[in-house]
């Protein structure tokens, strides 16, 4: 078998293993079959192990053959010959996508084994693993995407599963509210990425990363765009990355995401999903290189996020929120590294931080007990409590800064007013119009289908 055929087979297995898991778990749920916990665990374990082995085999073959960029074409989604317009379904194995894919399988597999015991006999066990499979497919597709529209497919699957897992405990109002908050912010991020994809097709005729960045393998290559075009497209990608990675001003959704189960908090918002925005900026590195203004904007946004998150982490009252902001601090530093052009440093930083944060969040239920034990052994308060800021600054300035950090920079209020409320109001209006249309079609009395169900929570909680 030739190297190309072997690369294709291994690539299809890498993508196909999580897709097969989603098909099995999804079809069983649709058909009403009741998979046992043991069967669900075995299917999950098999899919993750097969995908991990295939991705490691691709890496080994790339090292043996000396190839740094291996594209795998699976045809077109849409093709318009006369307009020279087409959407490719293709994947790319290179120095960026392969380490990210291996990291994804490793951490998701670890969390799958943990969740199998953590959620044992929980009523939402199978629902969790269904969303887990959706997330795994989304991450693998986004990591290996060779075109921006393929990346958008994985990006959407990650966002959908993330928002639904934040609202996992849907019998309580707060997780549902926070799930809506996450979904609303993701809509802004997704809209920016979609506009960037359309702009790339308009400017270059296609969204293929290999052709767009030149034939050089990542991180080399030059984008086929002028400086002004790169600035426009790059700013859209920066907004998309900011929403997905919780950079300011979108930082408020990350601690709210901790309402989900501990396994999802660990692998999604502490390790993988929160780094997807940084991955997008790494993939678009050649676009950043075409505009120093864009690189400066990426650096400044990352640095500002790191400073904000470091202060906010020190005033949090619970371990998971403190870890969320600690994670955001590192994501901000990673973004600043990308803006400075340190692509390999950022990639290694992501891998190390994702592994560390997964371990910390998995241990979060016992971390507070360990903290108190250490505090008692030392005999004094450890640095990092709520008085840390005030002890190092003049009293009035310290109080104001403490209040600002406690309110999370007031970004929550801004996003609530300008993003979440308009988003929910629009969809409630759409819901009323749909009810009115259904009522008209069924010949119902005026207003019968137009009445909305009473919200399960007061509007002011948003």
pLDDT digits (tens, 9 = 90+) for 199-238: 888 877 667 777 776 667 777 777 777 888 889 988 999 9
pTM of this structure: 0.81
Phi/psi at 92 (nearest 5 deg)? -140, 125
With a CB cutoff of 8 Å and minimum separation 6, the contacts of 247 are 241, 277, 301, 302, 305, 331, 332, 335
Alpha carbons 15 and 267: distance in angstroms, whole number: 19
Give residue 264's pLDDT band: very low, low, confident or very high (50, 70, 90). Answer: confident
Alpha carbons 60 and 63: distance in angstroms, whole number: 5
Alpha carbons 45 and 151: distance in angstroms, whole number: 25
pLDDT in tens, 373-396: 666 666 555 455 445 444 555 556
- Segment 329-347 shows an average pLDDT of 92
Among the listed residues 8, 74, 19, 82, the one whose alpha carbon sits nearest the alpha carbon of residue 47:
19
SS3 380: coil
With a CB cutoff of 8 Å and minimum separation 6, the contacts of 420 are 180, 181, 184, 185, 462
Q: What pLDDT does residue 66 have?
A: 81
- Segment 414-440 shows an average pLDDT of 79
Q: What pLDDT does residue 432 have?
A: 84
Q: What pLDDT does residue 454 have?
A: 43
Helix (H) or strand (E) holding 125: helix 125-144
Q: What pLDDT does residue 235 have?
A: 92
Where is pLDDT greater, at 171 or 99?
99
Among the listed residues 68, 77, 250, the one whose alpha carbon sits nearest the alpha carbon of residue 151:
77
Helix (H) or strand (E) holding 24: helix 3-31
Is the model's pLDDT at 402 over the cut of 50? yes
Phi/psi at 70 (nearest 5 deg)? -125, 100
Alpha carbons 248 and 305: distance in angstroms, whole number: 6
Q: What pLDDT does residue 112 have?
A: 85
Q: What pLDDT does residue 4 have?
A: 77
Q: Which of 159-173, 232-246, 402-416 is predicted with the least confidence, judged by mean pLDDT? A: 402-416
Alpha carbons 445 and 436: distance in angstroms, whole number: 10
Alpha carbons 88 and 44: distance in angstroms, whole number: 29
Alpha carbons 206 and 209: distance in angstroms, whole number: 9
Q: What pLDDT does residue 393 have?
A: 53
- Segment 434-442 shows an average pLDDT of 79
The number of beta carbons lying within 10 Å of the beta carbon of residue 454 is 5
Is the model's pLDDT at 301 over the cut of 90? yes
- Segment 136-145 shows an average pLDDT of 91
Q: What pLDDT does residue 461 have?
A: 45
Q: What pLDDT does residue 460 have?
A: 44
Q: What pLDDT does residue 386 have?
A: 47
Cβ–Cβ under 8 Å, residues 462 and 425: no
The tokens describing 313, both together, are 């982490």
Q: Is the peptide bond before 169 cis (omega within 30 degrees of 0)?
A: no
pLDDT in tens, 35-94: 788 888 888 899 999 999 999 999 998 888 888 888 888 766 666 665 555 667 788 888
Is the model's pLDDT at 316 over the cut of 70? yes
Is the model's pLDDT at 297 over the cut of 90? yes
Could you tell me the residue ranges of all domains in the chain? 3-365
With a CB cutoff of 8 Å and minimum separation 6, the contacts of 20 are 47
Phi-psi region of 457 (alpha: psi -120 to 50; beta: other; left: phi over 0): beta
């Amino acid at each position: 078998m030739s190297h190309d055929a072997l690369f294709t087979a291994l690539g299809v297995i890498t993508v196909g293993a999580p897709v097969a898991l989603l098909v099995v778990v999804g079809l069983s749920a649709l058909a009403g079959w009741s998979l046992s916990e043991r069967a669900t665990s075995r299917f999950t374990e098999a899919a993750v192990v097969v995908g991990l082995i295939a991705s490691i085999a691709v890496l080994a073959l790339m090292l043996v053959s000396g190839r740094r960029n291996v594209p795998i074409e699976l045809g077109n989604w849409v093709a318009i010959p006369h307009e020279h317009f087409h959407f490719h379904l293709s994947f790319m194995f290179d120095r960026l996508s392969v380490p990210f894919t291996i990291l994804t399988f490793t951490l998701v597999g670890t969390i799958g084994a943990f969740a199998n015991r953590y959620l044992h006999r929980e009523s939402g066990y199978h629902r969790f693993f269904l969303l887990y499979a959706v997330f795994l497919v989304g991450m693998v597709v986004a990591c290996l995407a060779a075109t921006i529209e393929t990346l958008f497919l994985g990006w959407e699957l990650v966002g959908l599963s993330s928002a639904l897992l934040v609202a996992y405990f849907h019998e309580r109002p707060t997780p549902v509210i926070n799930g809506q908050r996450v979904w609303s912010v993701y809509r802004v991020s997704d809209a920016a990425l979609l506009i960037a994809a359309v702009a790339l097709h308009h400017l270059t005729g296609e969204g293929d990363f290999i052709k767009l960045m030149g034939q050089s393998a990542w991180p080399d290559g030059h984008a086929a765009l002028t400086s002004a075009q790169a600035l426009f497209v790059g700013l859209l990608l920066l907004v998309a990355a900011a929403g997905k990675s919780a950079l300011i001003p979108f930082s408020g959704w990350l601690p709210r995401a901790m309402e989900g189960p501990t396994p999802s908090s660990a692998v999604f918002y502490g390790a993988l999903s929160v780094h997807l925005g940084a991955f997008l900026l790494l993939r678009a590195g050649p676009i950043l290189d075409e505009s120093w203004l864009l690189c400066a904007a990426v650096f400044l946004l990352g640095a500002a996020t790191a400073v904000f998150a470091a202060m906010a982490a020190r005033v949090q009252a619970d371990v998971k929120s403190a870890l969320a902001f600690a994670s955001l601090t590192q994501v901000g530093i990673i973004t600043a590294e990308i803006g400075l052009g340190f692509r390999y440093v950022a990639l290694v930083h992501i891998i190390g931080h994702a592994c560390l944060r997964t371990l910390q969040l998995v241990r979060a239920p016992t971390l507070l007990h360990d903290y108190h034990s250490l505090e008692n052994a030392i005999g004094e308060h450890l640095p990092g409590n709520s008085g840390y800021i005030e002890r190092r600054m003049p009293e009035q300035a310290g109080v104001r800064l403490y209040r600002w950090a406690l309110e999370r920079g007031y970004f929550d209020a801004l996003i609530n007013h300008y993003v979440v409320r308009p988003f929910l109001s629009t969809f409630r209006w759409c819901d009323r119009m749909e009810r009115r249309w259904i009522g008209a079609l069924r010949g119902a009395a005026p207003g019968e289908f137009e009445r909305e169900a009473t919200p399960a929570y007061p509007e002011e909680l948003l």
